[in-house]
DNA sequence: CTGTTAGCGCATTCAA
DNA sequence: TTGAATGCGCTAACAG
């Protein structure tokens, strides 16, 4: 409401001087004047007009956080505590660094471009972008961008990313399942691309089998339907005697828990009839019975890492390319039995 | 990147004309020219400079969504599927109506004011604002505002809100518990204000008891700690023999599930030793064993209702005051036993 | 150290 | 039906 000009009047100085204290252009303003202006600023609860700021500075101190998926797609993604946990962490970290946060869910590359361009975004955090789309997205986007959970494995010039040690996670779980005597397992993924982090996890499983002289071929990688009732049908087939697999390994706790629930409704005993493993270690994996054996990841850390990486890139232009892989660890609980 | 002026050049017209087709000022532009401009617009993937737009129009077509709580407060709020479900619903609805969404978590009234003023927000959606703060917030905010889950019960001039039939929900659950023979119950809330929706739910319980000639006094309303280990201690006290209550009624599934988990770890049998009820009907209430008896609410609906109400207020200035109370229904499952 | 000035891109008068 | 001129609030040269 109140403008720089009015503040300047009250303080008996020019608008430029006020602008200078506002922008921390200290050294250009004498201390007494600066203090006087600062006092008026808080007293009036001054709020800058971001429109004018963007126009003059070509930069909005705003970060766009994009959930890269169909807005009306699989809404269960949002029922997974993962989403709000990482969004909350991102928001808190941006906030404490003085950035605004714009939230958008889309799978339209042009829309991402338009957002970043319209708002002169300082940076972008993109969640769940399939790796094969990164290149074309980067060509459109002007500001620093961090990709979260895009499963980048090799060098990608000019790309910043935060992900997980997916392969190691799969490997650890794979070895554990083998050590428990499982040979007939299937990996159930919630993403179907061969380039997704789910597939990376699966590759870890494959390596674990290979190390034991066993084989886990690609037929054992099964993408899950995004439609709930189709998933239920699928679970039912897995739980039909004779059970085709001794263990079902899920790429997300959310679906592991959903499946356990269904298996039990069908009268199956977990893990006596079928073993189940997850990935994420969300709160509910500890709450379900049997407690879920899973791979732990630190979701909040993922969010704060993404923000910190982005801010370094924005403010220092520092890492040209950087890929952070957060560690995972096996959480052995009760849903995997010994054969 | 590309500006109106450049588009105008390409089309051989003035910037004003382009601006007119952009703003749907049809009738001011001849059809052939309009079509020509529109073609160039999409071809160039034109994105308006929102800075200039805000400056000229004093309105940003942006809605601020504010989670009204300490940024570093109780982070479990964000692990509750409720949060991401409602945020996702709000985002999708805003998006499909052509609004941008700004997300902020704070409990600082001045910051809310500054946000709305800096960005010339078209409207605001505030989640979890305690009722007693609404007045002072409204004084600061300039744009239409919808309060979600603020437990407004009587008329509040100039206020728009979306909430739940909390009282009815409490009443229904109360009657059910009584019908199952429970007399010694306690209501465990995650909010401690006497003005919160939790208390409203509790009042419904009280009424149910009263209707049966029983008494449930205020000592039976217990606010929960925001600190996890303190909560666990509290659960342990509830599960110490002789059990002080036959049924623990929670104001949120999240905590009900947390408690059941702890009770079971302590070797208690639910519902044989203690009955538990929830409120929300989130997915995990169906997944836990025993399945949770709870009160259902439609979280997505809450989000879309808030957005639609807000948009009506923004675009038509229509409802001066309006309070929507979404219905609830009892979900009888297995966590409440018969005494 | 402080003030003057120009210009950012757009919507909106007002003239033509 | 179209165009030229003005101003929104701020930053950044530049001048003093």
The C-alpha angle with vertex A331 and arms to A206 and A260, in degrees rounded to 5, equals 80
φ, ψ (nearest 5 deg) of residue B240: -95, 130
pLDDT above 80: residue B195: no
Each residue's pLDDT tens digit, B113-148: 999 999 999 999 999 898 889 999 998 888 999 999
Q: What's the order of all strands across the beta sheet hosting A123-127?
A: A322-326, A160-164, A145-148, A123-127, A62-68, A100-106, B100-106, B62-68, B123-127, B145-148, B160-164, B322-326
pLDDT band at B291 (very low <50, low <70, confident <90, very high): very high
User: What is the rounded average pLDDT of the residues B1-19?
Assistant: 88
| Nearest nucleotide by C1' position to the B5 CA atom | C9
Which residue in B79, B259, B290 has the most chain A C-beta atoms within 10 A of its own C-beta, making it the best mutation to test that interface?
B79
The answer for residues whose C-beta is within 8 angstroms of residue A51's C-beta and 6 or more apart is B50, B51, B52, B53, B54, B55, B60, B120
Cβ–Cβ under 8 Å, residues B83 and B296: no
Say whether residue A15 is in contact with chain B using an 8 A CB cutoff: no
The percent of residues above 70 in pLDDT, for chain A, comes to: 96
pLDDT above 90: residue B300: yes
The answer for residues whose C-beta is within 8 angstroms of residue B181's C-beta and 6 or more apart is B246, B338, B339
pLDDT band at B215 (very low <50, low <70, confident <90, very high): very high
Distance CA B188, CA B202 (A): 9
Say whether residue A306 is in contact with chain B using an 8 A CB cutoff: no
pTM of the model: 0.93
Distance (Å) from the alpha carbon of A60 to chain B's nearest alpha carbon? 9
Identify any residues that bridge with B12 across adjacent strands, giving them in sequence order: none
Cβ–Cβ under 8 Å, residues B143 and B99: no
pLDDT above 70: residue A24: yes
pLDDT band at B227 (very low <50, low <70, confident <90, very high): confident
DSSP-derived secondary structure letter, A33: H
Cα A148 to chain centroid distance, Å, stands at: 5
Q: What are the distances in angstroms from CA A265 to CA A116, B275, B337?
A: 47, 21, 20
pLDDT above 80: residue B21: yes
- The pLDDT value recorded for residue A88 is 93
Each residue's pLDDT tens digit, A252-287: 999 999 999 999 989 999 999 999 999 999 988 988
Report CA(B78)–C1'(C10) in Å, whole number.
Answer: 39
pLDDT above 90: residue B25: no
Distance CA B207, CA B8 (A): 68
Paired tokens of B114: 């500054």
Cα A53 to chain centroid distance, Å, stands at: 30
Q: Within the 189-218 window of chain A, which residues sit less than 8 Å (CB to CB) from chain B?
A: none
Cβ–Cβ under 8 Å, residues A113 and B126: no
φ, ψ (nearest 5 deg) of residue A309: -60, -45
pLDDT above 90: residue A237: yes
Out of B54, B117, B282, the one facing A47 most closely (by C-beta) is B117
Say whether residue B143 is in contact with chain A using an 8 A CB cutoff: no
Tokens 């036959």 correspond to B246
pLDDT band at A169 (very low <50, low <70, confident <90, very high): very high
Pick out residues 48-77 of chain A having their CB under 7 A from any atom of nucleic acid strand D.
48-49, 51-53, 55-57
The SS3 of residue A237 is: helix
Each residue's pLDDT tens digit, A48-71: 999 999 999 888 999 999 999 876
Distance CA B291, CA B109 (A): 40
Distance (Å) from the alpha carbon of B201 to chain A's nearest alpha carbon? 24
- The pLDDT value recorded for residue A73 is 59
């Amino acid at each position: 409401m109140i403008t720089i000009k009015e503040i300047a009047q009250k303080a008996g100085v020019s608008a430029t001087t006020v602008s200078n204290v506002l922008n921390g252009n200290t050294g250009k303003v004498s201390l007494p004047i600066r203090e006087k202006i600062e006092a008026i600023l808080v007293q009036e609860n001054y709020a800058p007009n971001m429109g004018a700021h963007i126009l003059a500075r070509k930069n909005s101190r705003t970060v766009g956080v994009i959930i890269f998926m169909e807005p009306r797609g699989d809404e269960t993604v949002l029922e997974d505590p993962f989403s709000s946990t990482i969004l909350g962490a991102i928001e808190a970290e941006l906030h404490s660094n003085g950035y605004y946060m714009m939230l958008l869910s889309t799978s339209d590359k042009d829309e991402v471009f338009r957002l970043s361009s319209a708002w002169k975004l300082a940076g972008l955090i993109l969640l769940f972008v399939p790796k094969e789309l990164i290149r074309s997205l980067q060509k459109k986007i002007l500001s620093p961008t961090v990709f979260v959970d895009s499963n980048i494995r090799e060098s990608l010039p000019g790309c910043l990313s935060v992900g997980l040690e997916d392969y190691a996670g799969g490997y650890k779980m794979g070895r554990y399942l083998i050590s428990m005597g499982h040979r007939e397992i299937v990996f159930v993924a919630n993403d179907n691309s061969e380039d997704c982090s789910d597939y990376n996890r699966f590759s870890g499983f494959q390596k674990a089998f290979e190390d034991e002289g066993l084989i886990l071929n690609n037929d054992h990688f099964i993408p899950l339907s995004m439609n709930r009732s189709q998933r239920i049908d699928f679970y039912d087939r897995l739980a039909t005697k004779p059970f085709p697999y001794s263990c079902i390994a899920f790429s997300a706790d959310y679906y592991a828990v959903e499946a356990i629930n269904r298996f039990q409704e069908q009268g199956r005993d977990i893990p006596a009839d079928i073993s189940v493993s997850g990935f994420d270690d969300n709160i509910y994996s500890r709450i379900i019975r049997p407690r879920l054996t899973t791979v732990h990841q630190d979701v909040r850390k993922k969010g704060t890492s993404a923000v910190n990486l982005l801010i370094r890139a924005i403010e220092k232009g520092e890492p040209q390319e950087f890929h952070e892989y957060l560690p995972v660890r096996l959480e052995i609980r009760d849903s995997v039995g010994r054969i």
